[in-house]
């Protein structure tokens, strides 16, 4: 009896283990035959450039797992992206897809992007998805789903999505519905159209300089000994040499010939059946430096451009061409640079200089020159220089008084180099009443006003402006107490210096 029970138990145990083993085997087989898929981080365009949407990435992963795909762990994808320095999400180039296949063993790749995401009412979400076959980097399926809460109107509002999260649920379900259930078979013979990378440099050269063309093959298993690469320039064939350290072919040749553009094509020969000519671009030989003219716009005096407040400098190329860089310098009379600026690319339309030195202080009056230098893309240099003068000194009017009998005689004089545009003088009594007012364009001038005693106070206000716009405003509180013929008292000197400090170049 006992032995019989033991035998039955053993049979039951054996059957249980067999079922368990069968289940494990089925699971292993299913896992082995399940399609390996990588879900790349979903780009979110609503978050600006290179935004990421982890929530949508996780949702897509979960749904694909439920559909029976073997989805590569997110950490492995992130590690791969970090290792290969892939900074952009939402797109991958063919070489990275092939590397992803080699390293993670994936068969398909899901690239997704959130095109539109609106939190505010009515909430809306739009996504687009692409499935890429890993072995030939071909986009085999693509689809997009958009949904706005306002799109879903149901009887009495029943089962309508209430918020963005519910909109997201519907969008993911719809995306999975349109996604193909059976993905196309893996292509055994991947195309290699994308495997060449060709760099032709530089784009513009001086005659005799060296041109280089580098050809790199992607992830294909190209045996370098079986491939011959050559570069064809103007009928000449230049053999490219394989550089094992750099892992690319390189053809080097001197740029000779007339100034013009030369097309370059690359010939890739993998045997009799596989020969390909690829247009690689063109380069230009440029041995002529650009011709530049300078035009200064400002006030003019005696045929010279004068800066009082601002000088406009425009530099123009006689024959316009793209430039690599430029430099503009302002030099003083001793050829010392007082201000300099440089930039890349083409010249700005014009420069404005407000007369400030590099340290921010105003440059002193004197003769200056502006020099503009340009370098074209081949490195040819050209420059132009123009002279100008800075004149900011205010006009100084000399006033001399002399008491004669019962009146004061006033002499107003000007001996500056810059001609006066106008002047005006008014004399006022102590109570502010105007005793005399004179104006004109020419100096010297003499006028007189009566006065009764030494204690009387007569103030004098002088205004003037030269042709460049420099202005003067001078106030003498009492001309009665002034020493005759220009002799000044200590008080007057103090008064003058205070006035000078108060003057401004522009008011």
Partner 1 sequence: MVGGLLARKPGETGGKVFSRRTRDGEDVPWEKIMDERKKVFCVISGVTVFLWGMFALAGCGGQKPYVQEFAPKTSHEPQGIAVLPFADRSGYDQGAKIVYRLVLVELVKQCNWRVALEGDVFKIYRQMRLTPWDVPDVEQLRIIAVRLGVDTLIVGEVLEMDEKVTPSGVSPALSIQVRVYDGKNGLLQWSSLYRREGGDYQKMMHFGMVNTVSELGKKMVQEILGVWKEKGLLSCVDS
Interacting residues with partner 1 (CB under 8 A): 45-46, 48-49, 88, 90-94, 96-97, 113, 115-116, 118, 120-122, 124, 126, 128-130, 132, 137-144, 146-148, 150-151, 153, 191, 193-194, 196-199, 278-282
Strands (E), 157-240: 196-201, 204-205, 210-217, 228-233, 236-239
Return all residues near 3 (Cβ < 8 A) that are at least 6 apart.
Answer: none
CB of 12 to partner 1, least distance (A): 56
Closer CB to partner 1, residue 178 or residue 505?
178
What is the CB neighbour count within 10 angstroms for residue 189?
7
CB of 238 to partner 1, least distance (A): 19
Is the CB of residue 470 less than 8 Å from the CB of residue 308? yes
How would you classify the pairing of strands 210-217 and 292-297?
A: unpaired
CB of 256 to partner 1, least distance (A): 22
| Integer Cα distance of 202 and 461 in angstroms | 69
CB of 113 to partner 1, least distance (A): 6
| Integer Cα distance of 352 and 296 in angstroms | 10
CB of 379 to partner 1, least distance (A): 17
Closer CB to partner 1, residue 115 or residue 409?
115
Closer CB to partner 1, residue 118 or residue 389?
118
Q: Where are the alpha helices (DSSP H) in 411-468?
A: none
Closer CB to partner 1, residue 199 or residue 275?
199
**Distance of CA 100 to CAs 40, 127, 207, Å?**
11, 24, 44
Closer CB to partner 1, residue 117 or residue 412?
117
Closer CB to partner 1, residue 137 or residue 460?
137
Closer CB to partner 1, residue 105 or residue 263?
263
Check the CA dihedral 242-246-247-248 and report its sign: negative
CB of 47 to partner 1, least distance (A): 9
Instruction: Using CB atoms within 10 Å of the CB of residue 194, give its burial: 0 to 12 exposed, 13 to 18 middle, 19+ buried.
Output: middle
How would you classify the pairing of strands 70-71 and 36-39?
A: parallel
Is the CB of residue 221 less than 8 Å from the CB of residue 231? no
């Amino acid at each position: 009896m006992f032995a019989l029970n033991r035998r039955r138990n053993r049979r039951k145990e054996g059957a249980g283990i067999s079922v368990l083993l069968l289940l494990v085997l089925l699971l292993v087989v299913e896992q082995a035959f399940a399609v390996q898929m990588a879900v790349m981080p979903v780009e979110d365009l609503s978050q600006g450039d290179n935004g990421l949407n982890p929530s949508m990435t996780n949702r897509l992963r979960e749904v694909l797992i439920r559909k029976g795909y073997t989805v590569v762990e997110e950490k492995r994808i992130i590690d791969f992206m970090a290792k290969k320095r892939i900074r952009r999400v939402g797109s991958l180039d063919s070489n990275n897809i092939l590397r992803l296949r080699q390293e993670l063993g994936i068969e398909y790749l899901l690239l997704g992007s959130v095109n539109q995401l609106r939190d505010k009412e009515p909430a809306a979400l739009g996504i687009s998805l692409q499935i890429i076959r890993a072995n030939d980097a071909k986009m085999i399926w693509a689809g997009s789903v958009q949904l706005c809460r306002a799109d879903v109107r149901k009887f009495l509002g029943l089962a309508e999505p209430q918020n963005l999260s519910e909109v997201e649920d519907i969008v993911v379900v719809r995306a999975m519905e349109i996604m193909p259930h059976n993905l196309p078979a893996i292509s055994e013979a991947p195309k290699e159209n994308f495997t060449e990378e060709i760099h032709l440099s530089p784009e513009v050269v001086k005659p005799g300089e060296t041109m280089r063309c580098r050809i790199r093959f992607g992830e294909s298993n190209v045996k370098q000994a079986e491939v011959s690469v050559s570069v064809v320039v103007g009928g000449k064939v230049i053999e490219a040499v394989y550089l094992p350290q750099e892992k690319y072919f390189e053809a080097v040749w001197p740029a000779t010939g007339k100034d013009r553009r030369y097309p370059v094509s690359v010939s890739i020969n993998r045997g009799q059946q596989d020969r390909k000519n690829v247009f690689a671009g063109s380069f230009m030989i440029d041995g002529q430096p650009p011709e530049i003219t300078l035009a200064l716009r400002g006030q003019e005096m005696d045929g010279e451009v004068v800066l009082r407040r601002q000088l406009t400098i425009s530099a123009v190329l006689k024959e316009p061409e793209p430039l690599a860089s430029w430099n503009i310098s302002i030099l003083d009379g001793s050829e010392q640079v007082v201000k300099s600026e440089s930039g890349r690319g083409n010249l700005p339309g014009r420069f404005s200089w407000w007369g400030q030195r590099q340290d921010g202080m105003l440059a002193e009056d004197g003769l200056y020159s502006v020099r503009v230098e340009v370098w074209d893309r081949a490195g040819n240099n050209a420059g132009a220089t123009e002279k100008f003068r800075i004149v900011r000194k205010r006009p100084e009017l000399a006033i001399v008084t002399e008491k004669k009998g019962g009146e004061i005689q006033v002499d107003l004089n000007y001996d500056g180099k810059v001609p006066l545009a106008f002047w005006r003088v008014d004399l006022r009594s102590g109570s502010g009443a105007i005793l005399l007012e004179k104006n004109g364009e020419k100096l010297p001038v003499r006028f007189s006003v009566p006065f009764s005693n030494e204690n009387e106070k007569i103030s004098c206000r002088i205004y003037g402006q030269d042709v460049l716009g420099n202005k003067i405003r001078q106030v003498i509180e009492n001309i009665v107490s002034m020493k005759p013929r220009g002799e000044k008292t200590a008080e007057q000197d103090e008064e003058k210096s205070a006035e000078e400090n108060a003057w401004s170049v522009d008011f």
